[in-house]
Structure 1
Amino acid sequence: MKRRAWLTLGAVILGGGGVVTYAVASSSGHPGATGRAKRPVKVYDLALQGTASGRRELPRTDTEQFSMLGVSWTGAANRLDGTAQVRTRSRESGEWSTWQDLELNVDPLEKPGPKVRGASEPLWVGSSDGVQVQVVRKNGTTSSLPKGLEVNLVDPGVVTDAETKATGTGSEPAAFVAETSPGATSGATSDSAAPSDSAAATPTDGQSATPPAATDTTPEATPTDSGSPSPSTSASASASATTPSAPPSTVPEPPIVARAGWGADESISPEAPEYNADVKAVFVHHTDGTNDYSCADSASIVRGIYAYHVQVSGWKDIGYNFLVDKCGTVFEGRKGGVDLPVLGAHTYGWNRESTGIAVLGNYTATSASKASLASIARVAAWKLGQYGADPAGTTQLTAGATQKNYFGTSYTTGSTYTFRRISAHRDGYNTECPGGSLYAQLPTIRSWAAGPVQDLKVTSVGGAGLSGSTYYTKGALTVNWTATTPSSLIKSFQLLVDGKTVATTSGTATSAGATLALGSHTVAVRAVHQSGKTVTSAALNVVAETTAPTFTTTPTLSLRTGTVNTSAVPVTLGWKATDDKALREVKLLSPTTATFGPTTTSSSRTATSGTATTWSMRAYDHAGNYRTSSPAYTPVILQESAATKSGSWTTRSSTSYLGGRSYSSGTKSASLTWTFTGRSAAWVVSRAASSGQAYIYVDGTKVATVDVKSSSTLYRQAIWTKTWSSSAKHTVKIVVVGTSGRPTITTDGLVYIK
């Protein structure tokens, strides 16, 4: 990759408590040189340039490593009525991103201190080393942009032990502090050169656009970012510095990564937390920025937001009480105790009686993951459960500010209004947060948090077969189910037989087994939500039985019409099976395999001639009971030479005939008679346009007149068949009719089954 080095010395970075002058050592911009050695969080401030009252910008500028940025300005009460866009250069690819909008409509603080700055929402951009910024006032307005506009870059560093184990080699040196000027103010200017690959910066608003350096100071006094309630605010809505006791919750506490776990630097927010009287509602947020982050980076994103809120905006601490990433990991936000009603700074006018949960990412057009929704629901249910509140219900909140929300609803300080227990940022303040897609998912969060378990249904029953609306089993079965409520919010499942619990599983289970006594039963699944609410699936009718099916007709072979070969003859396999409850299927096991439905009673097959073959069939019922029947049959070919002749017959030879020979006669009343012991017979002939008719006699009785004529010549054709109910001795006689003009009969023999 391209190597870059900064040669500038003496550049100025605007810090919260003064000016920091730094020198930059030559360093490699190679993306592989990310390093996993621990390094602290750093914040870099670069002043925006411009002389026009309606535009400020920073040209493409090389910077030290950062992953999050935003813009800020002097005076927390001032609003930036316009747009702010940024482009960043990836340290990995060296490519510049497209322009990205910064969210400017950030909630003001209820009681901002003198050090608090106005600021956009921070934007996570991933590891970057270059930035370009443009801020433009809203079209049609004439007011100037706020003073002190700067872009603030946050390097979340490598702080936790888990991060040091990540892959990567080498370490890129950051800017180091060369000299500090405690007496300097944020309005100081510098005449130093800009970075080598950017145009020189023009000072504006009393600040200079400069290359980055580490901010190593914090405001002299960290301001409180939430003020006291107005005189009309109820006493229950007041915040207190006294640490209250943590009430137990009606549901379990979810796993939460503590501040130490994500690497919070407690030294930058020394002020003690404040506490509310309780938690009446939960406000859901998104942090904005990319959704294309690795969950391994989530701790650093939280750390970046913390640094931005404190060191850029000048807040006392991170604003959110909890943060959730797309993998569902929950992070402790504002300090003071996750189990306590800590006063946050997340929803202007409503912080006094609520807690705030923010999802990392932007959910304006993208839905939040199921893992995120589940974690929001778990945290909300747990916090509200500490105060006996139903997550699906509503509550009365007292407004701490006069304002309108995103939908145009007006609120007046000191008045009470109805809110859902789980609401969105936009319900309380005029912002798009948490995005339209996540807002549409709030009903799902409420139902998951409140219970009962949603969409519980049995999907299948192992060890049982379904016939109509009834399952049949020999006794042992496994019931499988699904539910849309995440398993982390489910306490247990219970398998019910005839209304009684026969098995209990964990909330992560999707099946349970039981053995039923013989007879009819009802089977259902009950889900127990972590709240204790239960829901039961539709009951299934299940019959336990062990009676096997029966073959009322033993599988039998009968000859059928078709082409006969010396190795195979056409036959029909017939059977009939029944069951006392419900027959499921019949399978042919040998000499080949096939499966037949319960109403099928025959199948056309071929059988090997001259060999005894076992035809094994098995009948199954829906419970899995079965019975097997395996009779054996032998098809036998009797050549024409085996018949008793009368009249004149001529021997013909051809490979097309069975055995290579046949008898042919056109003499009226010439006959052939075969005698055999069997249960089915077929007369085999050759057919042609000149073929005539023959009479067929069975056991001395004429039974048929058969016309052998065919428009095309056919050999070895079983043209006539006869089957008896049992095997016995029979005679079959054919007699030439002597049909006018086509008297000839050519016979290949007789086939019978014994």
Structure 2
Amino acid sequence: MSSPPLPRRALVTRAAALSTVPVVGALTGWPAPGAVAAETTRSGGVTSHEIALGDQRLQRSGAGRWATGRLDTASYRMLALTWTGRAPGLRVRTRSSGRWSSWRALRVLHDGPDTGGREDSGRRGTEPLWLPEADGVEVLVVGQRPRDLRLVLIDPGSRAGDSRTRASIPAGRSGAQERDETDGADETDEAARKKPRRSPRPPLRSRKDWGADGSWRDGKPVMCRTIQQVHVHHTASGNDYSRTDVPAMIRSMYRYHTQSLGWSDIGYNFLVDKFGRTWVGRAGGPGRPVRGAHTLGFNNTSVGVAVIGNFETSGVTSKTVTAVVKLAAWKLDKYGRRPSGKVRVYSTGSDKYPKGWVRLRVIDGHRDTNDTACPGQSLYKKLPAIRKRTRKRVKKHGGIG
């Protein structure tokens, strides 16, 4: 069986490290003999396996249903599925510590680059699922069977720096010129030079802090002409994680975004964890207007902030809310945006808005721009309070609020 084509960026970075090895074996009830060949890549301390789920791997399991059966796998912490064409209905169950989980529905990932842009590989995927260390999986497809379905399993490994407690980029002072970490070069932001007083930068954890492998990136960062909005997301990856898990989670997302989906970098500009810590996502300098791949149709004049967790039912910590407020105040105050107001922005085309002008909140939730439940109902309900607190913080430091 031939494997489906990989995104261009994946082909480039995998060429030296790719090996096809049997990492998935058959359990009782699995009809196909032998082991499943996986494309395994080891880079930057991260091991990823991609398994093509073609005709030999997906067996009919009733009307409009196909299943892999229970599979033994190499150990992994993050799971996702990718495909081309229309989105399928996908469910998985996984095995950790010898016990199988119940079935879980995987949602389609609506974060991403603009359609037809340089980062759009044409490949789509699910929101990634973060798990306790797992060594088994079963996949169920319900409804229309997708083209080029691939199972992605990622083991991010561990680093000594994962337990670092202090932010490597300290908080700035109101009115101070701040220098950005830009992958080897420090740059003074133009907006910082022109504005004598503004909302200060919050403490940030850098890409180095979470272990970004620069070789996975493709091309130089692209800048937005301005920043009009902050889009709030959740990663939907799960809430049961520790402080030391967070760098590994971000490494896994980075690997998934760049090597499985073909994006040029991790999609989000920033990530905030449940402990109230803010992490730099996409490269290019946290103080600069870096264009991300987070909100289809609205990446061109915005910042994407992803809160790590699933907030469809689970609550949001007060530390997380405070971190989002400080980050939004810092980014919006540079460009004179009113955090509690609305702004006229141009949509390049999403599943909710066609190309053209639309009026949206300056701080909004992902569901306001795309057909998705993101950032989850619990976090979405916090947005009015986040806008109010951000406005208050901007005014405190001399901004227009």
- TM-score category, normalised to shorter length: 0.7 to 0.9
Change in Cα spacing, 1:354 to 1:376, as seen in structure 2 (3 Å) is: same
Task: Quote the Cα distance in structure 2 between the aligned partners of 1:278 and 1:533.
Answer: 17
Q: Does 2:132 align with 1:130?
A: no
Q: Secondary structure at the match of 1:450?
A: helix
Q: Does 2:82 align with 1:72?
A: yes
Q: Which residue of 1 aligns with 2:307?
A: 359
Change in Cα spacing, 1:354 to 1:39, as seen in structure 2 (3 Å) is: closer
Aligned residue type for 2:152: N
Q: Which residue of 2 aligns with 1:146?
A: 146
Change in Cα spacing, 1:396 to 1:134, as seen in structure 2 (3 Å) is: same
Q: Which residue of 2 aligns with 1:330?
A: 278
Q: Deviations over 1:646-672 (max 9, x none)?
A: xxxxxxxxxxxxxxxxxxxxxxxxxxx
Q: Which residue of 2 aligns with 1:50?
A: 58
Partners of 1:450 and 1:531 within 8 A in 2: no
Change in Cα spacing, 1:66 to 1:164, as seen in structure 2 (3 Å) is: farther
Partners of 1:347 and 1:428 within 8 A in 2: yes
Partners of 1:39 and 1:159 within 8 A in 2: no
Aligned residue type for 2:198: T
Q: Which of residues 317, 324, 338 is equivalent to 2:265? A: 317
Report matched runs for 1:651-662 at 5 Å.
none
Q: Secondary structure at the match of 2:222?
A: coil
Q: Which residue of 2 aligns with 1:711?
A: none
Report matched runs for 1:592-741 at 5 Å.
none
Q: Secondary structure at the match of 1:295?
A: coil
Q: Which residue of 1 aligns with 2:108?
A: 104
Q: Which of residues 87, 93, 97 is equivalent to 2:93? A: 87
Q: Secondary structure at the match of 1:352?
A: coil
Aligned residue type for 1:98: S
Greater relative contact order structure (CA < 8 Å, 6+ sep): 2
Report matched runs for 1:201-280 at 5 Å.
245-248=189-192, 250-280=198-228
Q: Secondary structure at the match of 2:70?
A: strand
CA shift for structure 1 position 159: 3.4
Q: Which has the larger radius of gyration?
A: 1
Task: Quote the Cα distance in structure 2 between the aligned partners of 1:22 and 1:14.
Answer: 18
Task: Quote the Cα distance in structure 1 between the aligned partners of 2:244 and 2:112.
Answer: 31
CA shift for structure 1 position 271: 1.2
What is the percentage of aligned positions where both structures have the same residue? 37
Q: Secondary structure at the match of 1:375?
A: helix
Aligned residue type for 1:343: R
Aligned residue type for 1:158: S
Task: Quote the Cα distance in structure 2 between the aligned partners of 1:85 and 1:403.
Answer: 23
Matched residue pairs, number? 340
Q: Deviations over 1:146-192 (max 9, x none)?
A: 21112101111123534599xxxxxxxxxxxxxxxxxxxxxxxxxxx
Change in Cα spacing, 1:377 to 1:126, as seen in structure 2 (3 Å) is: same
CA shift for structure 1 position 442: 0.3
Partners of 1:257 and 1:332 within 8 A in 2: yes
CA shift for structure 1 position 126: 2.6
Task: Quote the Cα distance in structure 2 between the aligned partners of 1:257 and 1:401.
Answer: 33
Aligned residue type for 1:153: L
Q: Which residue of 1 aligns with 2:183?
A: none
Task: Quote the Cα distance in structure 2 between the aligned partners of 1:365 and 1:276.
Answer: 34
Change in Cα spacing, 1:108 to 1:378, as seen in structure 2 (3 Å) is: closer
Aligned residue type for 1:313: L
Q: Which residue of 2 aligns with 1:307?
A: 255
Q: Which residue of 1 aligns with 2:364?
A: 423
CA shift for structure 1 position 311: 1.1
Q: Which residue of 1 aligns with 2:177?
A: none
- Give the TM-score, by structure 1 length: 0.42
CA shift for structure 1 position 289: 2.2
Q: Which of residues 103, 106, 127 is equivalent to 1:121? A: 127
Report matched runs for 1:336-415 at 5 Å.
336-401=284-349, 403-404=351-352, 411-413=353-355, 415=356
Partners of 1:67 and 1:127 within 8 A in 2: yes
Task: Quote the Cα distance in structure 2 between the aligned partners of 1:423 and 1:346.
Answer: 13
Aligned residue type for 1:94: G
CA shift for structure 1 position 136: 1.2
Task: Quote the Cα distance in structure 1 between the aligned partners of 2:262 and 2:321.
Answer: 31
Task: Quote the Cα distance in structure 1 between the aligned partners of 2:341 and 2:65.
Answer: 47
Q: Does 2:71 align with 1:61?
A: yes
Aligned residue type for 1:60: R
CA shift for structure 1 position 334: 0.8
Change in Cα spacing, 1:51 to 1:63, as seen in structure 2 (3 Å) is: closer
Partners of 2:162 and 2:244 within 8 A in 1: no
CA shift for structure 1 position 531: 5.1
Partners of 1:13 and 1:20 within 8 A in 2: no
CA shift for structure 1 position 245: 4.2
CA shift for structure 1 position 357: 0.2
Change in Cα spacing, 1:303 to 1:433, as seen in structure 2 (3 Å) is: same
Change in Cα spacing, 1:417 to 1:58, as seen in structure 2 (3 Å) is: same
Q: Deviations over 1:426-460 (max 9, x none)?
A: 001111100111111001111111116xxxxxxxx
Change in Cα spacing, 1:70 to 1:23, as seen in structure 2 (3 Å) is: closer
CA shift for structure 1 position 47: 2.4
CA shift for structure 1 position 380: 0.6
Partners of 2:156 and 2:252 within 8 A in 1: yes
- Give the TM-score, by structure 2 length: 0.78
Q: Deviations over 1:292-339 (max 9, x none)?
A: 111221111111111110111111111111000000111111111100
CA shift for structure 1 position 367: 2.1
Task: Quote the Cα distance in structure 1 between the aligned partners of 2:157 and 2:5.
Answer: 20
| Structure with the larger strand share | 1
Change in Cα spacing, 1:434 to 1:297, as seen in structure 2 (3 Å) is: same
Report matched runs for 1:511-530 at 5 Å.
529-530=396-397
